[in-house]
Structure 1
Amino acid sequence: MLRGLIGVVHLLPLPGDPGCATPDFAPAYARAKADAEALVAGGVDGLIVENFGSAPFAKGCEGDRVPAHQAAALTRVCLMCKGLDVPVGVNCLRNDAITALGIAAACGLDFVRVNVHCGAYVTDQGLIEGEAAASLRYRQALGVADSVAIAADVLVKHAAPLAPLEPEVATRDCVLRGMADAVIVTGTGTGQPVDPELLERVRGAAEGRPVLIGSGLNPDSADALMSLADGAIVGSWLKVDGRVHNPVDRARVSAMVEACKHAG
């Protein structure tokens, strides 16, 4: 389902996270349910669930996986989202493709997002190396290679490649050597706009795979940007006042859906 408008369900901080003021999971589940329902009622084509409130994040690589209770909470919310009859994906921040694939297989999800699928990037979590070799084999072992797509970021936000890397090279590495099913293009940070030139360069190198906008889309930029992409993952702008930590605003969702519908 890696096309159209995908709304983000950001989990609140969970017990054990520095930003969580309660040992109770219920507030996070209640917010996730309300946000998912508002996104679907507003007309999004799909949902992606993220443990966004659990900053600072584990790297997500071998030896530093997402904590078990976060994986369990993500699983519970993903199952709830599946009940809303739209395609659903999961992103285990910062970069835990293995846990994301396990959740996707157990819940019957449609896709996972992986921030660093190939290469090595300097991030606020330190140096993160892609685990495409392990994650693709794990997906194969789970028997979901034909049903769970991998959407991989190219030159992902909040990160820089360890060595200079042209967008075309990074994209071809993701789709040809990393065998990603789709690629995602972001701005420099959460909610930051995508550079149209970067988007166009990635699209030209994507070998026909879907290209998604991964940050910063709004109704004013939709007409110009959506003509260069197959879809978009939108979180911040769909919240009350466009602030990422606020609840989803159904009216803003509807406005974004209409803007994307008439884009291009």
Structure 2
Amino acid sequence: MNVLKNIFKDKANNVFGMIHVRPLPGTPLYDGNGVKRIVYAACKEAETYLKCGVDGLIVENMHDVPYVPARHITPETVATMTAICSAVRRTVSDCVPCGVQILAAANSEAIAVAQASGFQFVRAEGFVFGHVADEGYTDACAGRLLRYRESIGAREVCVFADVKKKHSSHAITQDVSLAETAKAAEFFMADGIVITGTATGQPAEPDHVTDMKRTVSIPVLVGSGVTADNVYRYEGADGFIVGSHFKKNGMWQNELDETAILKFMEHVKSM
């Protein structure tokens, strides 16, 4: 798919900075101060990331704790995420790869937001094989999701699928290896796979990158726990999705830390 070339630009070690948007209307932590402030903060983070040289961006409603399953996602969440992503797209050049994730596992909604906002990809939970997440059971969605993508003419929106994702129990698929899960995601037409540690900010196993690059022919991204100190251990990955490490004190809830971003990008450039 030509879109993949536009996202990864024929190189490895692409860095995608996470924009953890402020709590959205209708969620417990929303401060009631209006959507404009949320949009403004997201756009300022986008500007900071690009100034520091990251390759792309991902917008996520991380502050909307506690998360609800996709069937309980409400219209104001989709509407606000569309407003945010559209503003971020206007803030950055069209050639900057941008993606969106809507928690929890609201993958069809993310496809719709990406299509409306001019984003190139979504990060999808529960693409293949069901699992138990902290917000409840997440069923596999590949068949429904790609049919929905086709139905709205969004074939150019890529799907990067988490495999054996963080914050989840995989006991019901313990007899299915990570490699087999990745193969299933590729067979079910994922455009890329994302490997993670056990939780946000927790590192993935470096050997998993090597194994996945041997197992699948689609891009492999590391989706948690990558830092300036350990990034060299994941050399060969197609992309790094970095959130916590780019925040002050390494906490995803905090403001961006330009020094940390610049240091990380220097390490990546030297790889």
Amino acid at match of 1:166: S
Amino acid at match of 2:83: R
On the 8 A contact 1:171/1:183 being kept in 2, the answer is yes
**Does 2:46 align with 1:36?**
yes
TM-score with structure 1 length normalisation?
A: 0.93
Of 149, 155, 165 in structure 2, the residue corresponding to residue 156 of structure 1 is 165
SS in 2 for 1:255: helix
Aligned residues: 256
Q: Structure 1: how far apart are the matches of 2:249 and 2:42?
A: 18
Amino acid at match of 2:202: Q
| 2:183 corresponds to | 172
TM-score with structure 2 length normalisation?
A: 0.90
Of 79, 93, 108 in structure 2, the residue corresponding to residue 72 of structure 1 is 79
| 2:249 corresponds to | 241
On the 8 A contact 2:221/2:239 being kept in 1, the answer is yes
Deviation larger for 21-30 or 189-198: 21-30
| 2:267 corresponds to | 259
| Shift of residue 201, structure 1, vs aligned partner | 2.1
In structure 2, stretches of 5+ residues that fail to align are 1-6
Query: C-alpha deviations, 1:96-124, integer Å up to 9, x for none?
Result: 11101111111121000002101100110
Q: For 1:2-81, what aligned pairs fall within 5 Å after superposition?
A: 2=8, 4-22=14-32, 24-60=34-70, 64-81=71-88
Amino acid at match of 1:108: G
Deviation larger for 37-46 or 159-168: 159-168
Amino acid at match of 2:59: V
Provide the alpha-carbon RMSD of the alignment.
1.4
SS in 2 for 1:139: helix
On the 8 A contact 2:228/2:264 being kept in 1, the answer is yes
Q: Structure 2: how far apart are the matches of 1:152 and 1:17?
A: 26
On the 8 A contact 2:26/2:76 being kept in 1, the answer is no
Q: Structure 1: how far apart are the matches of 2:77 and 2:35?
A: 10
Query: C-alpha deviations, 1:193-242, integer Å up to 9, x for none?
Result: 11112222222212x100001001011111121x1311111011111221
| Shift of residue 8, structure 1, vs aligned partner | 0.6
Deviation larger for 128-137 or 20-29: 20-29
Q: Structure 2: how far apart are the matches of 1:233 and 1:184?
A: 9
Q: Structure 1: how far apart are the matches of 2:243 and 2:158?
A: 20
Amino acid at match of 1:66: I
**Does 2:195 align with 1:185?**
yes
Q: Structure 2: how far apart are the matches of 1:242 and 1:52?
A: 15
Q: Percent identity?
A: 32
SS in 2 for 1:223: helix
On the 8 A contact 2:58/2:98 being kept in 1, the answer is yes
SS in 1 for 2:194: strand
Of 109, 112, 120 in structure 2, the residue corresponding to residue 110 of structure 1 is 120
| Shift of residue 66, structure 1, vs aligned partner | 2.2
On the 8 A contact 2:128/2:184 being kept in 1, the answer is yes
In structure 1, stretches of 5+ residues that fail to align are none
| Shift of residue 65, structure 1, vs aligned partner | 4.3
